[in-house]
Amino acid sequence: MFRTDNLSPMQTGRLHAALDRQYRFDGVIKTLRAHLEELAKVGPLSLTEGDGMIDYSRTHFNRLGSNAEQDAYITRLKAKRYCYVNGWVVPKIVYDAIRYNPDRP
């Protein structure tokens, strides 16, 4: 499910650490690996990317001192990337390991 053959040993370790981290999914605590495997059993994985505009704060934006600072704030948010697997946010290294897997339908 996860492609690791072209990763360095350090990247492989980071991938496994990210997959073994525990999160709360729908009220149940489980590892990211277990959750993704359950999602894969149910159906095909939907991989999408989004920008950081979800973190937009109108209060923060309005408190910035000038238009240049406001433009920089918007640019910073749009440059930020979030990776989603079936609507769940996952780390980029996990997203890439799934995306570049040739066995994925």
Average pLDDT over residues 67-85: 93
Cβ-count burial 27-42 (b if 16+ within 10 Å, e if not): eeeeebbebbeebbee
pTM over 0.85: no
Residue-range definition of the domain harbouring residue 20: 9-99
Residue 17 inside a domain? The answer is: yes
pLDDT surpassing 60 at residue 55: yes
Kindly report the number of other CB atoms within 10 A of residue 7's CB atom.
16
Does the residue 1 lie in any domain? Answer: no
pLDDT per position as a tens digit, 13-38: 999 999 999 999 999 999 999 999 99
Is pLDDT above 80 for 70?
A: yes
Overall domain count for the chain: 1
Does residue 35 fall inside a structural domain?
yes
Domain contains 71: yes
Asked if residue 2 belongs to a domain, the reply is no
In a domain, 105, yes or no: no
